[in-house]
Amino acid sequence: MADVTEVKTRAEADPRYCWDTAQIFSTEADWEAALSRCQDFIPRLSAFQGKLGADGAALLDYLRLGDELSVALSQVYCYASLRSDEDTAAAAEQERVARAQTLAVELSAANAFAAPELNAIPDETLEGFYAATPGLETYRVALDELRRRRAHILSEREEVLLAAAGELGAAPMNIFDRMEGADLRYPDAVDAEGQRHPVTHGGLSPLLQSPDRVLRCSAFRNFYQTWLGMQHSAAALMQAQHRQLRFFAQARRYGSSLEASLDQSNVPTAVYDKLVEAVNANLPRLHRYMALRKRRMGLEELHMYDLYASIVPEARMEIPYEQAKELVLEALSVLGEDYVSVLRRAFDARWIDVYENRGKRSGAYSCAVAGVHPYVLLNHKDDLNSVFTLAHELGHTMHSYLSEQRQPRAYADYVIFVAEVASTVNEALLMQYLLRKTEDRMQRAYLLNYFLEQFRATIYRQTMFAQFEQRCGEIVAQGGSLTAERLGALYADLNRRYYGPDVTVDPEIAVEWARIPHFYLNYYVYQYATGFSAAMAISRRILREGAPAVEDYLRFLSSGSSLPPVELLKLAGADMTTAQPVNAALEQFGELIGELEELLEDEV
């Protein structure tokens, strides 16, 4: 079984299932040379200081230089990051990342003059530049977006100082990554037969999905007891994270760190608040699901370590990676042959790092490398969750790939607010494909249970995270301290409120906040919930309408950041200016509960 296999070292990993970073740089010497070339951008940028408002030609040259730098720095930084994530304990790779981060800060400092100068150009002067310099029109949207935030752009000297402080601001996340990836070790879990199972950050989820309750409990307690031993250090990191967020928010004249973070993507804080409000109003549906889970599992007490096990364990699906690939390709074929052909290339050309190895970064992500292609990190287990993770990360990959292919470099990236939509559309299409394909009643019940878990984990759980993060920011803003005791009490209270009276909130769950890496990504998690809700609307439209909806969706995937994020989602059929997508998704959640209740009650 996959969950009892000894975790290999990186050197023992099968190269067929490892990404090929040589497609970025063939040798480490090539990376060194590229790093040096990036450093040469510093005087090239500085040469434009004081000249951006002189004429359109100078401005166009500067913007094109920025595009060139964007590609070069992406390759240097991503190569270092990918290599580091292969083994977070490798000192040489950490040094490479540190050098890339330092370079990024130096470049940011060298470029600090630009935003104040660009914002100082009078509107009528800039319009004259557009008329006299046709190539400049390409950058209108980008310049409008920058100038939208002109009230938060400081003087040149202040911008230099903030840029220099950027490396300090990244410290909490960097320290967390090293602590979680390289330093923490967990005691083995023991199953009902006395067999030992290694516990890792990436391997916890499969253990908690086990039908063996003794194993689930052992893994849960061993994992979180380890974090309890680190809770005061973790609390200090969380305090540092929110203090640095507040520092930068105040420096840029924002009312709160939440407002500052959301404004980077042009998203009003009302979207965040509406999400929290809507989800809290729909907590009775989650409580109903927990009551069903407790009844179905036949438990006197439903514990936190029981929440991830299928309530239809007899239909539990074991899916090797090669089979997972084919399922994903078949499910996403509704998006067209061009879409699927890129996915096949990703599989065949080693864009993907598949299996866990000792020291490898936990979790999963897709990393877009400008001018090359995206890379995908997985920690694949032979289970249904890993199939959905594969589909999820390939959604990010296709969003990045198509935007880079179809947009000028200035718009090739996309903002965080839309980042989770493509990934979740893929998951929704995969689920609907599996539901259509299965003829077995209990397997359908298993899939419905899994779908319900996606709603629980993505809308409810991520909104709970968002509410926790928001409260942390408020405590710091009010002059309070984020002690381990305070954080634990806040987190435990939220779990009790969200999961309701049928769940026993184990004391260990009070430290779960400490192991969540996304809390170091600046109010990121709420977008999983909004993205999931938008994805439900888009995927339903694709399956109902076919080609016209696919065409609109591919247009969204190909649009990068060429429109405001709310307008981008409207292209694909989701209007996030209203609460309708969130409420509709939670209504669907209730319908799925009803269908699962009926299937299980009819079981002979």
C-alpha 576, offset from chain centre:
19
Give the count of alpha carbons within 13 A of 579, CB side only. Answer: 15
Neighbours of 55 (CB within 10 A): 14
Within 12-90, residue ranges assigned H as helices are 28-39, 41-46, 56-86
3-class secondary structure per residue, 316-384: CCECCHHHHHHHHHHHHHHHCHHHHHHHHHHHHCCCEECCCCCCCCCCCEEEECCCCCEEEECCCCCEH
Point out which residues pair with 318 in neighbouring strands.
383
Residue 554: name the closest of 417, 376, 427, 403 by CA. 403
DSSP letter string, 436-497: HH---HHHHHHHHHHHHHHHIIIIIHHHHHHHHHHHHHHHHHTT----HHHHHHHHHHHHHH
Q: Distance between CA 5 and CA 381 in Å, rounded?
A: 11
Give the count of alpha carbons within 13 A of 533, CB side only. Answer: 28
Q: Distance between CA 437 and CA 331 in Å, rounded?
A: 10
What backbone torsions phi and psi does residue 383 show, to the nearest 5 degrees?
A: -140, 170
- Environment class of residue 111 by beta-carbon count within 10 Å: exposed (0-12), middle (13-18) or buried (19+)? buried
Angle at 490 between CA 489 and CA 491, to 5 degrees: 95
Q: What token pair was written down for 521?
A: 């990504």
Q: Tell me how many helices (H) and strands (E) the chain has.
A: 26, 7
Q: Distance between CA 127 and CA 148 in Å, rounded?
A: 16
- Helix, strand, or coil here: 504? strand
For the chain, what is the largest distance between any 2 Cα atoms, rounded to a whole number of angstroms?
80
CB 57 within 8 A of CB 6: no
User: Could you give the C-alpha distances from 11 to 86, 182, 307, 349, in angstroms and in order?
Assistant: 10, 17, 36, 20
CB 520 within 8 A of CB 172: yes
Q: Distance between CA 125 and CA 266 in Å, rounded?
A: 25
CB 470 within 8 A of CB 272: yes
CB 171 within 8 A of CB 102: no
Q: Give the amino acid at 277.
A: E
C-alpha 480, offset from chain centre:
29
Active site residues: 393
Point out which residues pair with 375 in neighbouring strands.
367
Q: Which helix (H) or strand (E) holds 23?
A: none
- Helix, strand, or coil here: 392? helix
Nearest-10 crossing angle of helices 484-499, 461-477: 140
